[in-house]
Chain A
Amino acid sequence: MLKEKRIFNKKLVIAGLIIFIGVITFPFWFNHAKVVAPPEVKLTEKAKEAKECVLPDKVKMRGNHMQLLDMWRDTVVRDGNRKYIGTNGKEYEMSLSNTCLDCHSNKADFCDKCHEYASVNPYCWDCHIDNPKETKNNETQ
């Protein structure tokens, strides 16, 4: 039986292990164990006043707003239809700029908060830059 019990190629093995553990625990030390508060979206006065939105609740909204916007885009562009009946029975105009951003005019404090937090980069903003109102005019351009 082998008497000697030591780590052979010690430097290499230890260095390798340290690097490996360093890499896999990267998230633990990257954040410095500081508390990361979940993003809090701010509602504008207008939004607060409205009390309700196109979907019934916050959870549905968080999970599904992108599909809704996608559907809106298709309906508007392909069918020219801009009427949307919300789950509350109200009629809305399908327009990101005119409807959504009308109330939620504070993109930085509303949209971006979560998007940045979850590292989501929707390409909505490629065209719909920061809340310029859509007019009949620039729509036809």
Chain B
Amino acid sequence: MSEPRPDELIRKMEHKPHQKGWMDTPVNIRKGMYCYASNPKSVEYLGLPNARAWNPLDVDWKLPPDWQEIIHKGFRERLDKFRSFKIFMDVCVRCGACADKCHFFIGTGDPKNMPVLRAELLRSVYRNDFTIAGKILGKIAGAREMTIDVLKEWWYYLFQCTECRRCSVFCPYGIDTAEITIMGRELLNLLGLNIDWIATPVANCYRTGNHLGIQPHAYKDMLDFFVEDIEEVTGVKVEPSFNRKGADILFITPSGDVFADPGTYTAMGYLILFHYLKDMGLDITWSTYASEGGNFGFFTSHETMKRLNKKMYAEAKRLGVKWILGGECGHMWRVINQYMDTMNGPADFLEAPVSPITGTKFENARSTKMVHIAEFMADLIKHKKLKLDPSRNDHLKVTYHDSCNPARGMGILEEPRYVINNVCNHFYEMPSNTIREQTFCCGSGAGLNAGENIELRMAGGFPRANAVKHVHQKYGVNMLACICAVDRAALPPLMDYWVPEVGVTGLTELVANALIVPGEAERTTDLRGEELQGKEEAEDA
């Protein structure tokens, strides 16, 4: 598939709506913008409905004959279960404040990517099925019947939303399109209309414990690989432990970091950090069963999210740990912060987390019993427990991308900045309208990080890339830090496309680069094997 060049993509961003009304503009499922349909094997493995091979480009989506009835019932059930959904269906005034806040609208110019219209796709059916005005006045009241074309439109646009919640920050009533997308995707899943980039990771995670389907022995192999790499760079041999009963802390991070660059360097960072803290009293274990922090079930349905998430507490209980430490991940932390305790708690078999090194009690996590690695590291640095040489990151001019979910579904904004400022000498913020709670999505979240929808991803990531480009040109920024595994997978191609010469890193990688580990050999390269500034000349001389 040939993707459009950046300048071609920009020319497409007209932001001019169609002449006809949106209800009269049929959906055009276009290559490069959609993800492949779910593999029936994955759907079947999870016991989800209507597993069959289908193709979004086909006219016939092989739906069950009573599909309209299923949607109608599912809609009603969700209206009864979620106050958010009910209120968000009722109160929107269509003021349009959300319209140009969405990275997909900015990047594609497609008016149906305005959050308000994405929600209207569902609202129109809601009015038709559940309101008096809609039943009497029909189209005039903004109502329309659920037809196969409407269904296809739902599918196309609900998989062009990354549930990043940026629109919700600006909405005067707090209407959260993520919530609407979540409900819409649940309804689509009742008909077996998932995308494969979600369905298969979910099935993998269910079976093997992680999205990539890495089996326990292979998972250990991969970490052993990192152990060798670390020894090469630092001269220190780290010794991670797995599924170890009686450890104090269970560590869970997204499996993406075990699998692909540059996340792997973040995974190496964890290993180095844990090794460093070992003598200071850190007793931590990895798990192969709960080897996934991320939760693509979240992009399928609340129930699927719960089924995957349940493993975290189950494994913590089985191993008898005191609390859980979570790695760098975006939506994983939204799930942990806002859903896990409610769904699968109370975790009364765990203890309120206390840092074994500093003695800090993480009061803010006393019920969930799960601490974010950025909090954990910031606390260590504050207590001067880490010996750091920030000049080892001098070859990097760093900016920080707030990942959507930790920003707007949690609020972990200062810790990463504090850590970066302590491990790097060159840190530059992007413009204020593009960071913190106003941060822009990478364009590939919520399960959209596939290969076949590359045009959508590049367009959706445009606002983020544009802000990076700004600091790249202004300050020479060459490294984009983040605390999300999907970011680490999605941002490198995005940078290659829009701002070549900017790399992507996790927070812990930067820490590990700066961390002076006892007994280490003098480092001449960073974890990526790139020469450190100053060392090069020294060697030449």
Contacts and interface: CB of A to CB of B under 8 A. Distances in A.
Interface of A: 1-2, 8
Contacts of A1: 77, 80
B81 interface: yes
A84 to B, nearest CB: 54
Sort A-B residue pairs by CB-CB distance and give the 6 closest, nearest first. Answer: A2-B80, A2-B81, A1-B77, A1-B80, A8-B83, A2-B77
Contacts of A2: 77, 80-81
Nearest to A5: B80
Interface in B77-134: 77, 80-81, 83
B183 to A, nearest CB: 15
A1 B81 CA distance: 8
Interface string B7-51: 000000000000000000000000000000000000000000000
A114 to B, nearest CB: 41
6 contacts: A1-B77, A1-B80, A2-B77, A2-B80, A2-B81, A8-B83
A2 B76 CA distance: 11
A2 B77 CA distance: 8
A1 B80 CA distance: 8
Nearest to B76: A1
B226 to A, nearest CB: 47
Contacts of A8: 83
Contacts of B80: 1-2
Interface string B63-78: 0000000000000010
Nearest to B77: A1
A2 B78 CA distance: 9
Nearest to A9: B83
Contacts of B81: 2
A6 to B, nearest CB: 12
A1 to B, nearest CB: 6
B399 to A, nearest CB: 43
A78 to B, nearest CB: 49
A123 to B, nearest CB: 41
A2 B81 CA distance: 7
B74 to A, nearest CB: 11
A8 B82 CA distance: 12
Contacts of B77: 1-2
A8 B83 CA distance: 10
A2 B80 CA distance: 7
A66 B25 CA distance: 58
A119 B514 CA distance: 76
Nearest to A2: B80
B72 to A, nearest CB: 13
Nearest to A8: B83
Nearest to B81: A2
A72 to B, nearest CB: 49
Contacts of B83: 8
A1 B75 CA distance: 11
Nearest to B83: A8
A1 B77 CA distance: 6
A95 B263 CA distance: 92
Nearest to B80: A2
Nearest to B73: A1
A8 to B, nearest CB: 8
A17 B81 CA distance: 22
A17 B281 CA distance: 56
B207 to A, nearest CB: 30
A22 B77 CA distance: 34
Nearest to A1: B77
A133 B56 CA distance: 93
A2 B86 CA distance: 14
A2 B83 CA distance: 12
A13 to B, nearest CB: 11
B83 to A, nearest CB: 8
A20 to B, nearest CB: 16
B375 to A, nearest CB: 31
A34 B141 CA distance: 42
B69 to A, nearest CB: 15
A8 B87 CA distance: 14
B488 to A, nearest CB: 40
A8 B84 CA distance: 13
A8 B81 CA distance: 12
Interface string B122-161: 0000000000000000000000000000000000000000
A5 to B, nearest CB: 9
A12 to B, nearest CB: 13
B372 to A, nearest CB: 30
A139 to B, nearest CB: 59
Interface string B248-270: 00000000000000000000000
